[in-house]
Structure 1
Amino acid sequence: MSRGIGEFGPIQEQIPEWAAVIIALLTQLGDIWFLALVLTIAYWIGSPNRDDIGAVAGVWLAGMGLYKGLKEIFRFPRPDEPLLDPDLLPVGVQQLYEATAFASGYGFPSGHAVNTTIVFFGLAHVLTVSTRRRRFAVAAGLVATVAFSRVALGVHYLVDVVVGFAVGAFLLLAVQALSKYLTDRTTVAFAAAIALGGFFVVTSDVAMESVFILAASLGAFAGWQLIVLGRRLVAVELPSQAARPVAFHGGLAALALAPLVGTFELFPVLSVYVAGGLAGLATALVVTVPVLRHSPHARRAGVSLAFWLRAALAGLGHLLSPRTWRRALSALREYAERVRNRVRNE
C-alpha cells in the first residue's frame, strides 16, 4: 500500500529543469557530512556553549541510531518519482545531480528530516547568536527547505518527512526532560546515542553503518566522561575527594573505550570492526581536544609536561652524544689505571 497522497504531481510540475539542480544542492543541508561539519565547527569554536553543543551532537547520534533502526523494522520502500531525468542535463551537471538528487535504502522515516530537526532546532535552542525568535525562524526555514527538497526530488513521501520531524522533535524534548533529573545533559545525550546505536546494530543484523554509529557514540561518551572527570579533579580540595569521580567517570570512560580498543585484539586489522574502533577513538579525540586546548588547567599541565619532556630529551641527547661517551670511556680508563697501580703497590 502506497504512503503517498498524490503530492508529487502538484509539486514537481511547477519546478523547471534549472531549479531541479538547485533543489538537489539544497537537500545537502540535511546530509550527514554537512551536519557533522556544522556541529564539529560549532563545538570547536563555541567555547561558552560547548557543553550544550555537545548535547546536540549526542542527540543527533541518537537520532541516527533511532531512525535507521526504524527503517530496518518498517522496511518501507522509497517512491519511484524522480523529479528529473539526469540525461536531460549537460554531462558535468548530470554527474552533480546524480550524486545529490538520488537516494537508496528504505524510505520511512526520513533521515534528513530527523537530522535537520535535531541539529538546527537544537543549535537554535543553545546558541546565543542574534535573538531566540530569529534563530528558531532560521532553523524552521532550513528544516522546511530540506523537507520540501526530499519530497520534490521524489525520494520521500510527505508522511516520511512529517514523521521524521516528529522523531527528531521527540528526541530533543526527551533529552531535555531527562536532563532535569540528571544534571549533565551531554552525558544523557551520549548515553542515549549508545542505546539507540545498539538498537540499530540489532535491527540491521550488525550492518557496517550501525557499527560506525555505535562506535562513534561510545567514543563520544568516553571522551566526555574524561572531560567531566578532569573538571571534577580540578574542583576537589583534598586528594581523598578524588577517589569517587575517578572511580565513576573514569570507570564509565573505560567501559566505553574497552570495546573500541578490544576490536584490535579480537578482529582482523582490515575488518569493519577495527575500522569502527578507529572511528570511535577518533571521535573521542574530537570531543576532548578542543576542551583541553581552551582549559587553563590543561594548558598549565601541558606547559609543565612540555618542559620536563624537553629536559628529558636534552638529557638523553647529551647522554647519547659521542663527546659524552668519549669522556665516559676516558674516565673508565683512568679509573682502571688507578686500580691497577694500587694493586701493584700492594
Structure 2
Amino acid sequence: MLPAGVQVADPRRGLGVTETLGAALPDAAFALFVVLTQLGDPWLLVLVAGATYLVADRVTWIDRERAAYVVALTVTAMALTTALKGLFAFPRPPSAPIPGIEPLPTILRAVYVDAANAGGFGFPSGHALGSTVVWGGLALVVERSTPRRRLAVAAALVAVVSLSRLVLGVHYLVDVLAGVALGLLVLLATARLTASGRRPEPAFALATASALGAVAFAGVGLVPVVELASAVGGWFGWRAVADAEGRGGLLRRSLLAVGLGLLGGVVLLTAGATRAAAVVFVAVVSAVAVGVTLPLADDPRRARRPTESR
C-alpha cells in the first residue's frame, strides 16, 4: 500500500483521458474549471444541505423530513468516500504544473493552487460521488419545476464536476465513473428505504455505517472522526425530534446529545484514540444534534409528528 501522498501513473485507470484534457485547454478554461469544481466540493455541499435544512418548512418547495434526508445523504457521501479511499488506497495522477497562476495577485495564488490541487488517495472521486448524491438527492425531493427538469439540472452539475476533476488532472477516468456509479447506487437505495426521503432515519443509519467504515479503513484521524460524529449527531438529533413533544422535550434531548457525545469521547479514548480526536467527536456530535433539533423547537406540532408526510 502506498502512502497517501505518493503519486504514480496508473494508465489502466486513466485511458489517457486525464492527460489529453489537461493538455488541450487554454489557461482561461483551466481557471474556469477550478471554479466549477467547487460545485462538488465538500464545503459547498455541506453548506447547501445545511441551508436547505434551515429553510425547510419555511418555504413551499421542501419539508423538514426530506431536508434531513439530504443532510444524511451529504454525510453518507463524504464518509463513503473516505472509507473507500482508505480501503483501496489507489494513488492520484502525478502532479503537473498548474497553469494560469502568473496573472493572479499574490494573495489569491495560494487559494487558486489549493482549489486546483487535491491530496490523499484518488479512488473513487469524492467530488463525483458527492455531487451525484447531493444534487441528485435535491432533485428527487425538491418540489419545484418538474422532476425531469430537476434531474436534468442535477445531471448537468454532476457532469460539469466530473469533467472538472479530469481537466484539473486530480483523478483518472475510472475514479470519476466509479464515484458517479456509487452515488447513483446510494440514491437508489436510500430513496427506496426512506420512501423518497419522507423517513430519513434509514439514511442516517447508512451515514453512520459509512462513517464506521471510514474509521475502520482510514484510521482514527480528524476527517473520519468528524464524519462519524456528524452521522451519530444527525441520527440522534432526528430521533430526538421524533420522540420529543414541544420545545421542552426537544431541548432536553438536545442536552442528551451532549451527553452522548461525551460518552463517545470516552469510548474513543478507551480505544486508544488521541485526546484531540475525542474532543472533536464530542464537539461535533453535540453541535450537529443540537443543530438538527433546534429549528423544530418552535413548532410543537412537527415536534410530535416529524415523520408524517404532507
What TM-score do the two structures reach when normalised by structure 1? 0.73
Bigger RCO (CA 8 Å, 6+ sep): 2
Q: How many angstroms apart in 2 are the aligned matches of 1:283 and 1:289?
A: 10
* 2:83 pairs with one of 45, 48, 69: 69
Alignment partner, residue 3 of structure 2 = none
Question: What's 2:131 paired with?
Answer: 116
Please state if 1:51 is matched with 2:65. yes
In structure 2, relative to structure 1, the CA distance for the partners of 1:111 and 1:183 (3 Å cut) is closer
Name the amino acid aligned to 1:281: S
> Structure 2: which amino acid aligns with 1:225?
R
Pick from 6, 9, 14: which aligns with 1:4?
14
Consecutive unaligned residues in structure 2, runs of 5 or more: 1-9, 304-310
3-state SS, counterpart of residue 209 of structure 1: helix
Once the two structures are superposed, the pairs formed by residues 156-175 of structure 1 within 5 Å of their partners are: 156-175=171-190
The reply to whether residue 276 of structure 1 matches residue 281 of structure 2 is yes
2:147 pairs with 1:132: yes
User: Which structure's CA Rg is the greater one?
Assistant: 1
Q: Partner of 1:289 in structure 2?
A: 294
What is the aligned counterpart of 1:199 among 180, 201, 213?
213
In 1, the alpha carbon distance for the partners of 2:158 and 2:97 equals 20
1:173 maps to a residue whose letter is L
For 1:284, the aligned partner's letter is A
Q: 1:113-262 residue pairs with structure 2 within 5 A?
A: 113-179=128-194, 185-230=199-244, 233=245, 259-262=260-263
CA contact (8 A) 1:8 1:81 kept: no
The CA deviation at 1:126 is 0.3
Amino acid of the residue matched to residue 140 of structure 1? A
Whether the aligned pair in 2 keeps the contact of 1:82 and 1:155 (CA below 8 Å) is no
Per-residue deviation, 1:16: 1.3
| Kept in 1: contact 2:92–2:122 (CA 8 A) | yes
Q: Unpaired runs of 5+ in structure 1?
A: 235-245, 299-346
- SS of residue in 2 equivalent to 1:185: coil
Could you state the TM-score of these two structures normalised by the residue count of structure 2?
0.81
Offset at 1:88? 3.7
User: Quick check: which one's helix share is greater?
Assistant: 1
- How far apart are 1:129 and its partner, in Å? 1.7
Report how many aligned residue pairs link the two structures.
279
Q: Distance in 1 between matches of 2:188 and 2:101?
A: 44
The 2-side partners of 1:170 and 1:112 are apart by: 16
Deviation of 1:135 after TM superposition, in Å, equals: 1.1
Whichever residue aligns with residue 207 of structure 1, its letter is G
Q: 1:264 to 1:94 in 2, by over 3 A?
A: closer
